[in-house]
Amino acid sequence: MAHFINEKNYLEAESLLDQAIARDSDFFLAHCLSAEVQSRLYWNFDHNPERRDLAERAVKAAFHLRPEAGESHLARAQYLARCNLDYDNARAELALAQRGLPNNAQVFTLLGHIDRLQGRWNESVRNFDEALELDPRNLLTLRQLSLAYLFMRRLAESAATVDRAVALAPQDDELRAYRASIDLDWRADPKPLHKTLEAMINQNLTGSTDWGESWLDLALRERDPVATGRALAAIGDGFHRGGLYFSRSFMEGCAARTFGDDAAARRAFTAARVEIERTVREQPDYGPPLCMLGLIDAGLGRREEAIREGRRASELLPVAKDAMNGAHIMQFLGVIYAWAGEKDLAIKQIAATLQVPSLLSYGELRLHPFWDPLRGDPRFENLVEESKKPVAMK
């Protein structure tokens, strides 16, 4: 589970931009950047109407100051794509932005992001490559390109792309952990990530949350209870995979379930349920929180509720609407089925997920405790082997 966008950094950027605008309400570029920051916060972390309204307000401020500027159109494209999933109008805004910003790498980066959301993965790669031609040292774009390859299960190309990033930032701990985690997904080989994280831990970096998610993922796949406990302390309150938020209490439940402590698992999942229920009430038509509620209910043995919630989440946000979050929901609906004892449905769901770009990998299916209820089933083992291959792109 690789996490690229740091919420803390974006919240700090929000604060700095707010201060700049308070001092100078006509600071045009600050409004443009604010639109991007608010849109990213909404799409990645804070799917609330108030956040979306802040993004819209920043766009309006930019257009009030400079309605013809390419930066204004780029800001509106960010808002339309990330807050409204209005891809056609976002593309139209980017075409206008490009007239005033003909060599702006951000235009191509956002086009690549929109391509991914629409399931146009090969076009996404081309646009990220174009962005890197213009801005070859941009670490975020390199990570986004590597992520596109991960979804397509083109892991050799993903690894090579991250190698380019590591060469530019060899001291970036999260980046080094991410590179080693690709070997875990690619070959089901924990050694590179174990070695990388061990070196970081020995440097007294255990307070970091930048790579705590990778540490926890490794510890669970290695079935190491001591490392799992230490990694849980390093993830803070939790982490995101796209729109899905894996709270610390939920992951504590997963850990307890893995190591056979049913009472601790129930306590942790019950606490996680209280947290996610509030989000579902606030965002009843958004699939990711409902998917997480389904996972928690499956962990609590609430079989019928879990399946209903997982299916409804997939209906609310299918891959046709958002190819990234939709794929995450497809994948974890498979986990819901597995935990609910519905092996046949779980097998079918895994098979369907492997047909589309997703983060479901050979290393995860081979090693992760999520899939333990299916082990030994020949159909599951066949799918594990199938997951070694790249996605057959249509």
The CATH number assigned to the domain holding 13 equals 1.25.40.10
Model confidence pLDDT, tens digit, residues 270-297: 999 999 999 999 999 999 999 999 999 9
CA atoms within 13 A on the CB side of 195: 8
Q: Which of 83, 102, 121 lies at the terminal end of a domain, its last residue?
A: 102
User: Is there a single domain that holds both residue 229 and residue 247?
Assistant: no
User: Is there a single domain that holds both residue 213 and residue 252?
Assistant: no
User: Is there a single domain that holds both residue 302 and residue 385?
Assistant: yes
Angle at 328 between CA 373 and CA 33, to 5 degrees: 150
User: Is there a single domain that holds both residue 256 and residue 337?
Assistant: yes
317: CB partners within 8 A, 6+ apart = 243, 286, 287, 288, 325, 326, 329
Contact (Cβ atoms closer than 8 angstroms) between residue 254 and residue 369: yes
* Residue 3 pLDDT > 60: no
Residue 143 lies in a domain: no
* Residue 325 pLDDT > 70: yes
Q: Which of 67, 102, 137 lies at the terminal end of a domain, its last residue?
A: 102
Angstrom distance (rounded) from CA 165 to CA 207: 24
Counted domains in the chain: 3
User: Is there a single domain that holds both residue 325 and residue 299?
Assistant: yes
Q: How many residues can be counted in the chain?
A: 394
Model confidence pLDDT, tens digit, residues 338-389: 999 999 999 999 999 999 999 999 999 999 999 999 999 999 999 999 999 9
Residue 132 lies in a domain: no
Contact (Cβ atoms closer than 8 angstroms) between residue 76 and residue 93: yes
Angstrom distance (rounded) from CA 114 to CA 110: 6
CATH number at residue 378: 1.25.40
143: CB partners within 8 A, 6+ apart = 4, 162, 165, 175, 178
User: Is there a single domain that holds both residue 250 and residue 392?
Assistant: yes
User: Is there a single domain that holds both residue 222 and residue 259?
Assistant: no
**φ/ψ of residue 240, rounded to 5:** -110, 145
Secondary structure class of 238 (helix, strand, coil): strand
Q: What is the mean pLDDT of residues 110-116?
A: 98
* Cα 196 from chain centroid (whole Å): 22
The dihedral sign for the CA sequence 333, 6, 247, 321: negative
Secondary structure class of 176 (helix, strand, coil): helix
* Residue 206 pLDDT > 50: no
CA atoms within 13 A on the CB side of 115: 22
Residue 156 lies in a domain: no
* Residue 4 pLDDT > 60: no
- Work out the pLDDT band at 9, boundaries 50, 70, 90: confident
Please give the pLDDT value at position 202: 83
Q: Which amino acid is at 47?
A: H
Output the pTM of the full model. Answer: 0.94
Please give the pLDDT value at position 1: 39
State what percent of residues in the chain have pLDDT above 70: 97
Q: Which of 183, 207, 236 lies at the terminal end of a domain, its last residue?
A: 236
**b/e for 277-298, b at 16 or more Cβ within 10 A?**
eebbeebeebbbbbbbbbbbbb
Residue 344 lies in a domain: yes
User: Is there a single domain that holds both residue 214 and residue 327?
Assistant: no
Angstrom distance (rounded) from CA 151 to CA 358: 4
User: Is there a single domain that holds both residue 267 and residue 352?
Assistant: yes
Residue 88: give the domain boundaries. Answer: 1-102
Contact (Cβ atoms closer than 8 angstroms) between residue 139 and residue 172: yes
User: Is there a single domain that holds both residue 247 and residue 388?
Assistant: yes
Please give the span between the terminal C-alpha atoms of the chain, in angstroms, as a whole number. 26
Residue 130 lies in a domain: no
Q: Where are the alpha helices (DSSP H) in 49-100?
A: 49-65, 70-83, 87-100
More confident residue, 2 or 73: 73
**φ/ψ of residue 7, rounded to 5:** -60, -40
User: Is there a single domain that holds both residue 334 and residue 250?
Assistant: yes
Q: What is the mean pLDDT of residues 215-231?
A: 97
The helix or strand, by DSSP H or E, that contains position 239, with its residue range, turns out to be: strand 238-241
Residue 119 lies in a domain: no
Written as one string, the DSSP assignment of 265-311 is HHHHHHHHHHHHHHHHHH-TT-HHHHHHHHHHHHHTT-HHHHHHHHH
The helix or strand, by DSSP H or E, that contains position 172, with its residue range, turns out to be: none
As a whole number, the mean pLDDT across the chain is 95
Reference 357, options 319, 383, 301; nearest CA is 319
Residue 204 lies in a domain: yes
**φ/ψ of residue 368, rounded to 5:** -75, 140
Angstrom distance (rounded) from CA 128 to CA 105: 9
User: Is there a single domain that holds both residue 73 and residue 191?
Assistant: no
Contact (Cβ atoms closer than 8 angstroms) between residue 124 and residue 112: yes
250: CB partners within 8 A, 6+ apart = 238, 268, 269, 272, 276, 292, 295, 296
Token pair 């894996």 in the structure block, residue: 246
Residue 136 lies in a domain: no
